[in-house]
Every structure is written in C-alpha cells, then in structure tokens.
Amino acid sequence: MIAHVTRNAPPGARPPHEDDDRRSQAKTPRTAWTRLGACVAAAALLQLDGTLITVALPSVAHSLHTTSAFTSLMLSAYFAAYALMLLPGGTLVDRFGARRVALLGLCLFAAGAAAGALASSTGALLATRVLQGAGAGIVSPAALAGAVSGFPPERRGSALGIWGASAGVANLLGPLLGGLLTLTLGWRADWWALVPLALVAISLIVRHLPASTGNARSATKHPASNAVVLAATLVAAITFAVMIGSFYLTEQYLQRAAGYSPLGASTVLVAVALLVVAAAPLAGRLVDRRGERLPAILGFLAAGLGLGILAIPTVSLRSAVSIVPLVPIGLGLGMLFVATSRAALNATPIASHGRTSAVLSLGRLVGAAAGASLAGVTVAGGVSAAAVHTELLYAFALCIVVGTPLSALFGARPRARASDLKPRGRRFRSRTTAATVSQTSGLANDPHVIPHGGRSVTGIQVNPS
C-alpha cells in the first residue's frame, strides 16, 4: 500500500529558505537574555579575579614578607586547580544542571575570597587561592552552558558575542579596580571586593537561571569524540596562545627595549583589547548569518596579516606606525572566540553542553599557558627586536598554516531542516489538505505502509542520514 499526500503552498508564499531566515531573526524571549546576563556576570567575575589579584601580588609579597617566587606559585596553583576542575565540572553540569553547579562553584569561590582576605600566612593564602581556582573551574562550564541554553542554535552567535565582549571589559576593568583598591585600602581589599561581587552573581543565577537548564540525563557521547569540538578546541588553544604570547612579548619589548613606561605599554595592549571587545558582537551577528567557517577563517587571516607585517625584520617595532598592524590582530582574535564557541556548542546536543564548554575552556587555558611559556623562553636571554620578529613569524605561521585549515572544518551557513519546516508549513494547508493529512497520519505509523518515493506522508523529503 502506498500513501502519498502532496502539500502545495499557495501562490505568493515565501520559499522555505526565506521563511527559515525570518524565523532565525525572530525575537528572542526576554528570559533568554536575562539568563544570558546572569551567566555573563558569573563568567565576568572569573575574568575580573585573574587581573585584579595579579595587580595586588607585589603588595602581597611585601606585606607577608615573601618573595616573588611565592606570588608566582600562587598564580600557578590557582590555574592548576582551575584546569583540574574543568572536566569534572562539565560532567556535573550535564548531570545536575547548570544552575546547581554554578551556585556550588560561586559559593566555593566566595568562601575562598573571604578566607584569603583574612589569611595571615603565605600557606593559608595559597590554600585559599586553590579553593578559588577549584570554584572557578566549576563555574566556567556551567556559566557558558547556561548562557546559551535559552537561545536556539541559529541565534547563539549573538549571545556569545555579548559573552566575549563582557569578558574583554572585565579584563580591562580588573587592573584599574585592583590598582585603585590596592593603593587606597591595601591588598586585602582586592579579596574582599570579590565577595559581594560573587554574591551578586549568585543572586542573579538564582533568579534567572532555571533549575532545569542542562539537566538532561540521556546517554550522550563525550564531546571530545566529536571532530568539530576537537577542531574548535584546537582553534581556541591557538587563539589564546597567539594572544597571550603576543601580548606578553609586546609588553616586555616595549618596556625593556623600546623605553616605554609600564603605563605606556599597557595603553597599547588596552587598545588591542578594545578591538577584541568591539569585534566579538560583530562576529556574533556574522556567525548567525553565515555560519562559523567564514568568520573563523577571516579571523585567522586578519590576525595573520597583522602578525606577518610585524614579523618583517625591516618593520620597526618602536615607531607609532607599528600600532597599525595591531588593528587586524585585535579584530581577528575577537572574531575567533565567538566562532569556536558556537561551532562546538552547535555540534553537540544540549545534554553535553557542560562537557563541551569544559573542553573548550581547557583548550583556551592550555593555549594561554603555552603562549606565555614560549614567550617567556624567548625573552629569558634578553629582549631584542630580532627575537620578537622571529616569534611573531611563528605566530603568523600558526594562524595561516594551522588555524585556517582547522577553521574549514566548521559549519557553513545552517540549512533548514525538515523538522523545522514541518510546523511552519501548517499555515499553508487548506482545510481539505489538513483533513487529508490528519486522516493519513496514522498510515505513517503503520509498519505495513511504505512512504512513496522516500517521502513522508506530509510530502517533505526525509533524509535517511
């Protein structure tokens, strides 16, 4: 028995792909934006902590009568605890939901900050930073998974653009707030400041992030087995290796070789950071329109262009002209964050977004550590223009030779799916057609009925893959 019902759209009806474009531009519910805002606040707190505490470390060493080696150990211990808790934190998100895990991590973080403000010995302070790092590692995947949970896949780029911009703003505000608090109230004020900020983030999560977000318990493969997630993680690692390594080299060269003051060198880096902040929302809208592949490729090409120009031995790194190539570097790096995050999250079901976010964050952390280490090795024997040119050439090759081909694995512009078209097509049915489909819909569930020509009873082509 053959069942086949044809559904025709009336004259003047929009083609399916145009209707899909209109649907992707439909107004996002207000709850999705408030959910995003709550998660952005939690993530921004982690970004703020990293830069705010770093500024206070010299005062910590002086107050507790310790050495710079101990302050370096504090940084390493924090990031080690952060990295170790990322993957377990992602698993917890997928099992118990983003809301519960984010609250757990924020409570640990706030407790560690309060204990650190009261610490009277180096050992106690070190232990509190480990506790803060563990809390941050738990919060990170929960915040990212929760941030996009209210958005459909085709609108996540806009959400991630805001996410990236807020992270950049937090990184810019951290040194300013840290310096102000340290100078006026002492280094303990930096730790105390994190406590009310954590409480604000907790209240926002409680109010706006639903308890059911991400708590699907269905069995899913680990995101690390997904080719797109692996590619996105490698791209994220390359992005942060290039960004952190280049920033570190630039700051060291400008201060130690070019004669810039710390404020002058920081001004240059702030300008690049502002470009990253500006590019993130633009990249978010672009990936929603064109998919992740094009923005990622453009991001690597732009960053590679700026790095390639600065890598030319005849280009002076001291003159004001050298600031011009920093523009494509900043814009390119800003485009890459959104593209990598959206590609990985859209390649996996929401039930595994916690683990996906954790894998991405771990890739960024490893990339940042690698970039800082390589840059540190470069300047260990002294800072020279030749050494900086060489390292920038390596960064250029990394962007063009490795980053661009990896970006080609990302998705192009998303196509309309049959499951998306079916509900929207109902408004095209006449009463007669609707009744006919209703009468034959039971035939589709009959195991003795074979759809005609590989089509479903609604007339929509079904892709067997």
What is the tens place of the pLDDT at every residue in 79-91? 889 999 999 999 9
Residue partners of 29: CB distance under 8 A and separation at least 6:
150
Q: What is the pLDDT of residue 79?
A: 87
Q: What is the pLDDT of residue 220?
A: 66
pLDDT digits (tens, 9 = 90+) for 258-295: 777 766 777 777 778 888 888 888 889 999 888 899 99
My answer on whether 379 and 271 are in the same domain is yes
- The pLDDT confidence band at residue 195, using thresholds 50, 70 and 90, is very high
Residue 456 lies in a domain: no
- The pLDDT confidence band at residue 430, using thresholds 50, 70 and 90, is very low
Average the pLDDT over 90-114 and give the result: 95
My answer on whether 210 and 223 are in the same domain is no
**Which helix or strand (DSSP H or E) is residue 450 part of?**
strand 450-451
Residue 146: alpha-carbon gap to chain centroid: 12
Domain count of the fold of the chain: 2
Residue partners of 337: CB distance under 8 A and separation at least 6:
160, 164, 236, 239, 276, 280, 283
Query: What is the distance between the alpha carbons of residues 338 and 304, in angstroms, rounded to a whole number?
Result: 18
CA nearest neighbour of 58 among 48, 68, 49: 68
Residue 455 phi, psi dihedral angles, 5° rounding: -105, 155
My answer on whether 321 and 180 are in the same domain is no
In this predicted model, which residue has the larger pLDDT, 390 or 255? 390
Average the pLDDT over 99-103 and give the result: 95
Q: What is the pLDDT of residue 457?
A: 34
For the chain, give the number of residues: 465
**What's the CATH number where 176 sits?**
1.20.1250.20
Domain that holds residue 331: 218-413
Per-residue pLDDT at 444 exceeds 70: no
Q: What is the pLDDT of residue 193?
A: 94
- Residue with token string 């039930």: 351
My answer on whether 83 and 194 are in the same domain is yes
Percent of the chain scored above 70 by pLDDT?
80
Q: What is the pLDDT of residue 192?
A: 95
Query: What is the distance between the alpha carbons of residues 193 and 187, in angstroms, rounded to a whole number?
Result: 10
Query: What is the distance between the alpha carbons of residues 27 and 187, in angstroms, rounded to a whole number?
Result: 46
- The pLDDT confidence band at residue 40, using thresholds 50, 70 and 90, is very high
- The pLDDT confidence band at residue 113, using thresholds 50, 70 and 90, is very high
My answer on whether 135 and 190 are in the same domain is yes
Extract the tokens encoding 251.
Answer: 């700051």
- Residue with token string 């502002």: 274
Q: What is the pLDDT of residue 203?
A: 96
- Residue with token string 């992707």: 24
My answer on whether 191 and 332 are in the same domain is no
**Are 458 and 9 spatial neighbours (Cβ–Cβ below 8 Å)?**
no
Provide the mean pLDDT of the chain. 80
Query: What is the distance between the alpha carbons of residues 461 and 465, in angstroms, rounded to a whole number?
Result: 12
- The pLDDT confidence band at residue 27, using thresholds 50, 70 and 90, is confident
Residue 364 lies in a domain: yes
My answer on whether 276 and 175 are in the same domain is no
Query: What is the distance between the alpha carbons of residues 17 and 162, in angstroms, rounded to a whole number?
Result: 27
Residue 58 lies in a domain: yes
Residue 194 phi, psi dihedral angles, 5° rounding: -70, -25
- The pLDDT confidence band at residue 26, using thresholds 50, 70 and 90, is low
Residue 427 lies in a domain: no
Per-residue pLDDT at 353 exceeds 80: yes
My answer on whether 132 and 103 are in the same domain is yes
Residue 431 lies in a domain: no
Query: What is the distance between the alpha carbons of residues 102 and 42, in angstroms, rounded to a whole number?
Result: 8
Extract the tokens encoding 95.
Answer: 């099992």
My answer on whether 243 and 130 are in the same domain is no
Neighbours of 172 (CB within 10 A): 19
Domain final residue, candidates 371, 386, 413 = 413
Domain final residue, candidates 214, 241, 266 = 214
My answer on whether 293 and 345 are in the same domain is yes
Q: What is the pLDDT of residue 382?
A: 74
Residue 136 lies in a domain: yes
pLDDT digits (tens, 9 = 90+) for 363-389: 998 988 888 888 877 777 777 888 888
My answer on whether 116 and 183 are in the same domain is yes
Query: What is the distance between the alpha carbons of residues 402 and 400, in angstroms, rounded to a whole number?
Result: 6
Residue 250 lies in a domain: yes
Lowest mean pLDDT among 42-46, 242-246, 423-427: 423-427
Per-residue pLDDT at 422 exceeds 80: no
Domain final residue, candidates 374, 393, 413 = 413
Average the pLDDT over 458-462 and give the result: 35
Per-residue pLDDT at 448 exceeds 80: no
Query: What is the distance between the alpha carbons of residues 134 and 127, in angstroms, rounded to a whole number?
Result: 11
CA nearest neighbour of 114 among 202, 205, 41, 199: 199
Of the segments 168-182, 217-231, 403-417, 448-462, which one has the largest average pLDDT value?
Answer: 168-182
Query: What is the distance between the alpha carbons of residues 310 and 389, in angstroms, rounded to a whole number?
Result: 7
Residue 16 lies in a domain: no
My answer on whether 202 and 229 are in the same domain is no
Q: What is the pLDDT of residue 246?
A: 83
Entry pTM: 0.75
